[in-house]
Amino acid sequence: MDMQINRKIGVTPASERRSDAVSAVMATSHFAIVFGAVYFAAWTGPGWSTVACWLWFGILGHGFHQLLHECAHKLTFRNVKLNEALAHWLVAPLYLADFDAFRHRHFAHHRDLGYDADPKYTYRTDIRGGRFIGLLLSMLTMSGAIRKAFLQVGEKSGASSDSTRTAALRTLVVQPIFVLSVIIAARLGHPESWQSTAVSAAVAYLFVYLYGVAALTVLVATLRGIAEHRTTGEVETVEGTAALRNFTHNRLDWIIFGTYGFTDHATHHRYPSMPSYLLPALTRQLSTTDPSLAPVGTHTAVLTRLITN
């Protein structure tokens, strides 16, 4: 079966998949770039740089969180067990998430996109005019994150008592290890005083990390979902009540919104078994004959149209 036929039916040949060693290096590097902000805040201690670290971690942390999506489709590693281990024992516990429930919701989203059974609610959020300011305020006050948490334990959450219990146990194992690593970073920066160590570690963990996830990461995830599927009223591809778009590749836009295939979102929905790093080439190939897959602008550009519409 040649590459063209494989791609046509959504099958990715093993020869096109990158090695697990390369994927491990990519995931490790991404972790270092994102979580380095937490460790730097702990090492330097409270100050103006703390706010910069909060912005860095909270905004770019959304990209690392998207590894859950790649692992849900079993595409990060060739070895399926490595996908499960990365999601269950690193990414999900660090984002206080139930990975099995996330996967259940995500597959339902693929299956029921744009219809009542679609569990993804974020793209239905109206952000026109002042409503966008309201969304920002709800995220910065964490009411948006609280709402999201409650929705993820409801009947559409995909969670079971077993998955919730297992996710909680994994979180209780991983979080103390992470806290210890933050304390070590704080101690290296403040070897003269345990009080300074404790304050620096607490600010880094509670403000940069926890508040960064609850406010900024959830905000970016919400805006990404809106950009992907909320209709603009223009001529566009629609399934049910949901638009389906590919986005223009722009480095900054990709780092914030589009990591792990989310820039090529329409292509991913059509070919969900394609690893994220192969989607750009596939989009270019398919869009020459299928205009519905042509990029419509960056996430930022689409959001601007939705806000000012």
- Residue 238: DSSP 8-state: E
Cβ atoms of 27 and 42 within 8 Å: the answer is no
Residue with tokens 């389906």: 244
- Residue 19: DSSP 8-state: P
Residue with tokens 């939705």: 306
Task: Name the residue among 94, 36, 34, 46 with its Cα closest to residue 197.
Answer: 46
Q: Pick the more confident residue, 56 or 13.
A: 56
Q: Is 176 left (phi over 0), alpha (psi -120 to 50) or beta?
A: alpha
Main-chain dihedrals φ then ψ at residue 299, nearest 5 degrees = -55, -40
Predicted confidence at residue 171, as pLDDT, reads: 97
pLDDT tier, 14 (very low <50, low <70, confident <90, very high otherwise): low
Least confident of 154-163, 183-192, 259-268: 154-163
Distance CA 171, CA 167 (A): 6
pLDDT tier, 66 (very low <50, low <70, confident <90, very high otherwise): very high
Compute the mean pLDDT over every residue in the chain, rounded to the nearest whole number.
Answer: 91
Residues 243-258 have a mean pLDDT of: 95
Distance CA 65, CA 73 (A): 14
Cβ atoms of 267 and 219 within 8 Å: the answer is no
Q: Per-residue pLDDT for 3 more than 50?
A: no
Predicted confidence at residue 16, as pLDDT, reads: 77
Distance CA 158, CA 172 (A): 21
Distance CA 232, CA 128 (A): 10
- Residue 76: DSSP 8-state: S
Distance CA 65, CA 93 (A): 11
Cβ atoms of 197 and 187 within 8 Å: the answer is yes
The dihedral formed by the CA atoms of 289, 255, 297 and 110, expressed in degrees to the nearest 10 = 60
Q: Which two tokens stand for residue 227?
A: 């950009």
pLDDT tier, 10 (very low <50, low <70, confident <90, very high otherwise): very low
Distance CA 69, CA 72 (A): 5
Residues 11-21 have a mean pLDDT of: 74
Q: Per-residue pLDDT for 137 more than 50?
A: yes
Residue ranges covered by each domain of the chain: 19-308
- Residue 79: DSSP 8-state: S
Read off the amino acid at residue 75: L
At 274-289, the pLDDT tens digits run 999 999 999 999 999 9
pLDDT tier, 8 (very low <50, low <70, confident <90, very high otherwise): very low
Predicted confidence at residue 152, as pLDDT, reads: 59
Predicted confidence at residue 244, as pLDDT, reads: 94
Main-chain dihedrals φ then ψ at residue 262, nearest 5 degrees = -75, -15
Residues making up the chain, counted from first to last:
309
Q: Which two tokens stand for residue 246?
A: 């590919």
Specify the DSSP element, H or E, that contains 69.
helix 67-72
Q: Directed axis angle between helix 161-189 and helix 194-203, to 10°?
A: 140
The dihedral formed by the CA atoms of 20, 26, 30 and 36, expressed in degrees to the nearest 10 = 90
At 141-185, the pLDDT tens digits run 988 778 776 665 555 566 788 888 999 999 999 999 999 999 999
